[in-house]
Amino acid sequence: MPNKVAIMPYLDELTEECRDIGACNTLFIREENGRRIFCGTNTDAIGIREAFYKNVQEPDRFFHNRPALVIGGGGAARSAVYALGKWMRVTTIYLVNRDESEAKAVINDCSKSGYGASLLHVKTASQVTGLEAPGAIVACIPNFEPQTQQEILAREINEAFLDKERKGVILEMCYNPTPFTHLEASARGKGWQVILGTEALVWQGIEQDKYWTQMPIDEVVQRKVQLAVAEKVISRS
């Protein structure tokens, strides 16, 4: 970061998720006939997937076979679309973004890579009224107060989804400088289960470690990592 796309032409091999998402957040090396092969992968999507499955006890009740919502238009949003569509058994994926051209780019890029057919760009708060409530939301935007008309509109649309009678689970990917954001507070206050972005950070990091060490990581170590990160979050809250 911020060279997740720029690095890709210099690599010898890309994993399927790295190629399809169009961004590389992890480099690793393997040996082949005495030659070093430089490889790229993307563990962000796995971090998103695991953040949900490690924190939601009843996926069938909360987000399986329901629509999902992705907020944002960058690389993290593409990873979220990939995770939701490929692994999390959602139906339609709603997309909300302040910039319409960015939203179109996400839909085009994901469609070209074979996982964008279920995307629906939601452009107005009134449009939300006729849509089924999402079971899983992944928010991939920074924590700031909206200034432009487009930013204000995007927040109105997001709040309209949060106001839906049927609730679900939201993963707030923003964790810097704090995971306690306006969106996180609003969702929690309206009855949504909230997963902090540090959870996705934990699980994408554990996946990275598997690539680097070629060794499995047992549950005891995983739990220690979670506790260490949780302690940092508490100290900054």
Contact 179, 211 (CB under 8 A): no
**Residue for token pair 């979670």:** 226
**Residue for token pair 């499995």:** 216
What is each CA distance from 194 to 52, 92, 170, 203, in whole angstroms?
A: 10, 21, 5, 16
**Stretch (H or E) spanning 71:** strand 68-71
Q: Which residues pair with 68 in a beta bridge?
A: 93, 136
Q: Which residues pair with 170 in a beta bridge?
A: 137, 194
For the beta sheet containing 35-41, the strands, ordered from the edge strand earlier in sequence to the opposite edge, are: 13-14, 35-41, 26-32
Helix, strand or coil for residue 11?
Answer: coil
Give which of 196, 193, 132 is closest to 161, Cα–Cα: 132
Instruction: Return per-residue pLDDT of the chain as tens, 237 residues.
Output: 778 889 999 999 999 999 999 999 999 999 999 999 999 999 999 999 999 999 999 999 999 999 999 999 988 999 999 999 999 999 999 999 999 999 999 999 999 999 988 999 999 999 999 999 999 999 999 999 999 999 999 999 999 999 999 999 999 999 888 889 999 999 999 999 999 999 999 999 999 999 999 998 899 999 999 899 988 888 776
With a CB cutoff of 8 Å and minimum separation 6, the contacts of 60 are none
Letter for the amino acid at 56?
A: V
What are the chain's domains?
8-45+201-212+220-236 (3.40.50.10860), 55-198 (3.40.50.720)
pLDDT the model gives residue 237? 65
Task: Spell out a b/e string for 101-136, using b for 16 or more CB atoms within 10 Å of the CB, else e.
Answer: eebeebbebbeebebbebbeebeebeebeebebbbb
Tokens matching residue 23: 């961004």
Q: Exposure of 165 by Cβ count < 10 A (0-12 exposed, 13-18 middle, 19+ buried)?
A: exposed
According to DSSP, residue 91 is labeled S
pLDDT the model gives residue 2? 76
Distance CA 7, CA 2 (A): 10
